[in-house]
Amino acid sequence: MNAYIFPGQGAQFVGMGLDLYEKYPVAKEMFHTANEILGFPITETMFHGTAEGLKETKITQPAIFLHSVILSKVMGNIFKPDMVAGHSLGEFSALVANGTLTFEDGLQLVSKRALAMQRACEIQPSTMAAVLGLDDATVEKICTETPGIVVAANYNCPGQLVISGEVEAVNRACEKLKEAGARRALVLPVGGAFHSPLMEPAREELASAIEETNFAAPSCPIYQNVTTTAVNDADEIKKNLISQLTAPVKWTQSVQQMIVDGATIFTEIGPGKVLQGLVKKIDGSAETLSPELD
């Protein structure tokens, strides 16, 4: 069975999407539509901007979404997913790919999500840190025992977990994690504590936008970050998408469940190959691919 997976923030690079824009009329049309919906020429930053400019959350999230969704569109008839999943932001790309959201609605929600997250980051200093070489239970236990807000946020693959929370709490947790034998516990250059309780203002802001958006029945199941199981019901997809901002991204568990349910090939749709690497670390026997275009 074919599983299509969609990357999240961090996969961006300058020049992303330019090849699609220049080669495929449908891509050019979708990029122009995106500029109109967003109210600014995001294509300029994507195609010809700087790495610094592309790192802004309000740019990064729509840019990665656009690259992923447009790439799936130009694949044409060879894009036939049996199941989809996305890492954090990538969940929105996956929901357009399986017909739950329209391209226009998906882009508007992603833009609102990015701005809401940016505002939440400004309320309180917060950060994230990558933890390598420890089992999940040890990381969770240390987060629980650390004063302040710090939680397990991204379960990327066995031995690679990201924690998220208040700056002081994350720093304290990193020290304890190193003492517990972590190979690395490294604070990341991010604007805030994504997938933690500190994103509650953003979750509330995004919830109303999601509630007002039409979600159709998907063409194939999505394995959502919050539940890790196959979801086909539009109302349940909405509920999980609202929870996603303050809940952990259970990527390891989602991929494991997709394999249990029959996934044999994982094709990453979007910039980079980060998710292919994670899938291989989760299950070395899984086949991973990048899309082949005409």
Spot the catalytic one: 126, 195, 196, 254.
195
Helix (H, G, I), strand (E, B) or coil at 268: strand
Contact assessment for residue 167 and residue 215, using Cβ atoms and an 8 Å cutoff: no
pTM of the shown model: 0.95
Determine the Cα–Cα distance for residues 21 and 71; give it in Å rounded to an integer: 10
Instruction: Check residue 102 and give left, alpha or beta (phi > 0: left; psi -120 to 50: alpha).
Output: beta
Please report, rounded to a whole number, the percentage of residues in the chain having pLDDT higher than 90.
93
Q: Which H helix or E strand runs over 187?
A: strand 184-187
pLDDT reading at 176 higher than 90: yes
pLDDT tens profile 72-88:
999 999 999 999 999 99
Determine the Cα–Cα distance for residues 232 and 1; give it in Å rounded to an integer: 17
Quick one: pLDDT at residue 10? Answer: 86
Mean pLDDT of the chain: 96
Structure tokens belonging to residue 230: 């196959």
List the domains of the chain with CATH numbers.
Answer: 2-122+197-289 (3.40.366.10), 124-188 (3.30.70.250)
pLDDT tens profile 90-142:
999 999 999 999 999 999 999 999 999 999 999 988 999 999 999 999 999 99
Q: Look at the chain and count its residues.
A: 294
Contact assessment for residue 228 and residue 178, using Cβ atoms and an 8 Å cutoff: no
Quick one: pLDDT at residue 210? Answer: 97
Determine the Cα–Cα distance for residues 107 and 105; give it in Å rounded to an integer: 5
Quick one: pLDDT at residue 254? Answer: 98
Bridge-based pairing of strands 184-187 and 222-223 is unpaired
Determine the Cα–Cα distance for residues 246 and 254; give it in Å rounded to an integer: 17
Query: In which band, very low, low, confident or very high, does the pLDDT at 23 lie, cut at 50, 70 and 90?
Result: very high
Spot the catalytic one: 72, 88, 111, 254.
88
Quick one: pLDDT at residue 191? Answer: 80
- Catalytic, 195? Answer yes
